[in-house]
Structure formats: structure tokens, C-alpha cells
Structure 1
Amino acid sequence: MQEIPRLGLGTYENDDPEQCADSVRTALETGYRHVDTAQSYGNEAAVGDGLAAADVDREEVFVATKLATGNLAYDDAVETARESAERLGVDTIDLLYVHWPIDSYDPEGTIDALNDLHADGVVDAVGLSNFRIDQLDAAIERLDPPLAAHQVECHPMLPQDELRAHAVEHDYALVAYSPIARNQVADVEAIREIATAHDASPAQLSLAWLLSKANVVAIPKATSEAHIRDNWAARDLELDDEELAAIDGIDERHRVVDFDAAPWNQ
């Protein structure tokens, strides 16, 4: 399996085809090598257009997508994964996630579909998203290939300590979506103060904090060239132990993505 680049481009709600394709092209030409999408975003074809337009070899780019919650029965998962690859314009999807373990999720049929898609070369690696630890353990036991990634909301107000520890223990990546909490990190005094000291944005600080953690990958959404470049610059922001401890010590807790049927509410 190709190593997952630690900073990627998220494309949630980037649903204008021309804008999405341009964002992907801009990100790749800026230096990003990881693009994340999903069947439910409705933009896989636009992401594929951006991949094709960029002056970057396809082999250098890590492309991830996710099965929609209505496509998790065995036959639907197998069929729609192949359709996703076609829309993305790729022979093999580098990483295919189960987006949510809800609706049509079947711990047997869905995982067996991932196993067969991997065996058939449709996907190079398999991932899960928004799972509880008990659901992760059950899926890992049934998976033939090793779990490559678990994607969850993660940022300084939702540090996901238990899930990050589970990722380290089982040697997979925890992929952080909403890594700047839709810029609500800018409302936290400690983050603002440390960011000011580095002449950085709160968003950059949140990303740098995530990238300091073992096994963590961040996929901030960005559409404009300025935002794409601002996020990319977070890779160069070095935080000392005291600053990292101050961010670790933030006691505010806030979840951006939440609804009654979410696994953690069951």
C-alpha cells in the first residue's frame, strides 16, 4: 500500500464542478499529494477532472473516496466502488472507506465487499470512517487486508484520544476531517495566542498540532488558492513542547458533525 500523505485536500461541499476541479488541480500543483472525496459529495467526476488537469503524474497522487451509506450492502458496495473508480478516472482507488456504519451497513456483507474489492485490485487499501472502537475491532477481525485508515472529526476541541491511541496500537492512520472545526478553532484563546506568536493563522496552528501527533493525517477542506496554500504552509510550523501541551490542555469540547443516528450517540 502507498503511504498516506499526512496533509490532504478535503472536498466536502465543493460541489461546483469547475471550482472543484480547479481546487484539486491547484492543490496538486501546490504540492499536495492526497485528495479525499466521497460518493455522497457528488463530486468524484470533478475530482477526476482535477487529477487529469494537474501537471502531476497520477502515480504520485493518493486518491481516497467513501462508500455512501445507502451503498453498503455487498452487491451495492462492489458495483458502486467500480463506478467511483470510473468517475475518478483511476484504475485503482488508493483508499476506499465505509463512510458511516449506519443505514445499509452490514458488518459481514460490507466488510466482505471491501475484502473482495481489495482482492480484485479495485482498491489498494481499505478504510473506515466514524466508527466506535467496538465497531472498529469487529471490522478489523473480519478484514483480510490490514485496516489502512479510520477517518473521524478531530481537532483541538475534539482530540479523540482513545481513537488516536487505537490507531497507534493497531498501526493505521487516523485521518482528521474538520481539522479546523470549520474555523471555530479561531474562537479559542489559547490557539489565537500561540498562532499570533508564530505569525500564523489559528487554522495553521490546528493543523500543525494534528501533524505533531503519531499516526494522524489531516484533510482540511479548501477551495480558493489562498486557503489551499495557507493550509499547506502549516507543514512548516514548528510548535515546542510547551505550546503543544497548552493545546492539549484545552478543555473546551465541541463536535461539528453530530446527529442522532451517529454511532457515538447509540
Structure 2
Amino acid sequence: MENIVTQGVSIPRLGFGTFRMPGGGCQPVVESALALGYRHIDTAAMYENEEAVGAAISASGVARSDLFVTTKVWHDALARDTLRRSFDVSLAKLGLDYVDLYMVHWPAKDMDMAATLETLTALREEGRMRAVGVCNFNMPMIRRAVDEIGAPIAVHQVEYHPFLAQGEMLTYLRGKNIPLTAYAPLAQGRAASDPALAEIGEKHSASAAQIAIAWLLDQDGVIAIPKAGRPKSQRANLDALAIRLDDVDRAAIAALPKDQRFVRPPFAPDWEAKDSLVQ
């Protein structure tokens, strides 16, 4: 497993996502993933499965130092005190002494970005988490966080898959040596049935979903966190690590539509914004 080093932490490039895996049913799924070799687990307070993830980690027998565990604070808890309380709750549910990465899950329109990022940085300095991250910031927001506030952002997590371009974001992040973590890397399952990806897959004796993952990991500074409930699918996603795309494959994927954003909650930022309104 190739890792990316950022802000002093080393992150496996292929992680295991747990979105829409609420409750205790998540535990055996994560146990299976850990047994197969996943060492990067992504959860969040909003997923309502931190206890199950923590129980799976405890039952796995994998050394804590060999794991990279991410969780996130929801957008209604970004004030200093509420953020700290949310962090305490997440850590207790996970049953861990620290998390490797703690992230702002979504920005809030009324957030005090500087105060939020200062609080996250303080938690890092206290040794309770190893790195600070953000998710779903638009371009003005990520520029403000990094260039103006100077926050030690280790990772930016956004929707990214073969049907959604992130060229401007990737160019900026690469210039700052900040990796991009792709969530919904299979476009919420749509990649698995795409004819163009399937055709490339036939050439590599792989599935369309595996090609989508391989395409993400073919790019500098990109991490992917697909989720998979069945061990067979978990194994298939790991096997995508061995696929090597060529220029013909890349050109075929580049020709796919790149304007399909599937994660559109009502509180999402304006993705086309040129100026940040966040204070």
C-alpha cells in the first residue's frame, strides 16, 4: 500500500469509507476490511457508527500505530466549545486515545473559520489528534484556510470520481502539497455500470469500479475511500491497486462527462463561488 505523507502523518492512499453504514451492523464490515488489509478507516460523527468502528478496531488485533483513523465534526458544532465537546464524544465512542485526522465535515455559512481552525490546531497540539483536515470547502474557502489563516491543513476531502472534474482544486492543493481525498469515488455506484469504464476494465481483466478507483490512484496526491459492505467487494477494491492505466485509458476516461456532482445537500457551499462569505 502506497502512502502519502502530509503535515507529518503518513496516510494509506486507499482507505475504507463507512458512510451510510450506521449502527452495530458496521462493526463486522469494518472487521472484514481490517482483516483483508485496510489500514485507513474513515468515519464521522454524522455517520452514527463511531462506536461500531471503534469496536471493530478493538476486535481486530491490529496495532493502533498501524492504523490511520479519520473522523469528522458536523457543521452545527463548529464553535470552539461545541467543537471540543463533539471531539470528546467522538473519541469516547471510538474508544481511542487519539485520532489520526479530525476534519470539518461541511463548512457552515455562519462559521468563524479562523476560530474553528484554531481550535482544531489546538487539539492537535494537545496530542489528541495528529492532523487537521477539512471537507467540502470551495475554492475561496480552502484558499482562505491555507493562505490567509495559515491553518496546517493536512487533507482536503471532496467528491471526486470519473464524472466530476476537480482540476482547479487539484492544481491548488498540489501547489500546497496537500492531498485530496476522493469521497464517493464510485459516483455512488454509477461507475460500476459505466460502459466506457467497463470497456477499459475488459482490457485489464478488471471491473468498471476497479478502473474508477485505479484512475483516482493514478493521479498525484489523490487518496480514495470507497466503501464496500461485502468482503468480495472490499477485496476487489484493494486489487485495484495493482491496475496500471495507459494513455489510451486515461484519454477515454477524460472524455467522460465531468460535470456530474451527486452530493448536493442544501447546506453545501456554492461550488462556483469566487469570493468567500465565510468570516
Report the TM-score range of the alignment, normalised by the length of the smaller protein. Answer: over 0.9
Alpha-carbon separation, structure 2, partners of 1:9 and 1:229 = 11
Indicate yes or no: 2:142 matched with 1:142. Answer: no
Q: What is the aligned length?
A: 264
Q: 1:54-133 alignment to 2 at 5 Å?
A: 54-102=60-108, 105-133=111-139
- Distance (whole Å) between structure 1 residues aligned to residue 41 and residue 109 of structure 2: 26
Compared with structure 1, are the counterparts of its residues 104 and 61 closer, same or farther at alpha carbon in structure 2 (3 Å cutoff)? Answer: farther
Q: What residue number does 1:203 align with?
A: 209
| Matches of 1:76 and 1:93, distance apart in 2 | 18
Q: Give the structure with the higher percent helix.
A: 1
Using structure 2 for the length normalisation, give the TM-score.
0.90
Deviations along 1:119-171, one digit per CA (max 9) or x if unpaired, are 11111100000001110111123245x21100000000013111111121111
SS of structure 2 residue aligned to 1:264: coil
Contact 1:92 1:122 in 2 (8 A): yes
Distance, in Å, in 2 between the alignment partners of 1:189 and 1:118 is 45
Change (3 A) 1:104 1:73: farther
> What is the RMSD of the two structures over their aligned residues, measured on CA atoms?
1.5
Cα pair 1:82 1:122 within 8 Å, conserved = no
Any idea what the Cα deviations from partners look like across 1:202-232, whole Å, max 9, x if unmatched? 1110000000001000000112111111111
Shift of 1:46: 0.6
Question: SS state of the match for residue 155, structure 2?
Answer: strand
Percent of aligned pairs sharing the same letter: 39
Structure 1 spans left out of the alignment, 5+ residues: none
2:12 aligned counterpart, secondary structure: coil
CA distance in 2, matches of 1:188, 1:231: 17
Structure 2 gap ranges (5+): 1-7, 274-279
TM value normalised by structure 1: 0.94
Shift of the 264–147 alpha-carbon distance from structure 1 to 2, 3 Å rule, reads same
Q: Secondary structure at the match of 1:63?
A: strand
From 234, 244, 249, the equivalent of 1:238 is 244
Local SS of the residue matching 1:165:
helix
Aligned to 1:26: 32
Distance 1:97 1:194 in 2: 35
- 2:164/2:257 contact within 8 Å kept: no
The superposition leaves residues 167-208 of structure 1 with CA deviations (integer Å, 9 ceiling, x where unpaired) of: 211111100000000121134332121012222111110000
> What SS is found at the alignment partner of 1:176?
strand
**Aligned-partner Cα distance in 2 for 1:249–1:169:** 25
CA distance in 2, matches of 1:165, 1:155: 16
* Matched letter for residue 239 of structure 1: L
* C-alpha contact 1:152 1:177 (8 A) present in aligned 2: yes
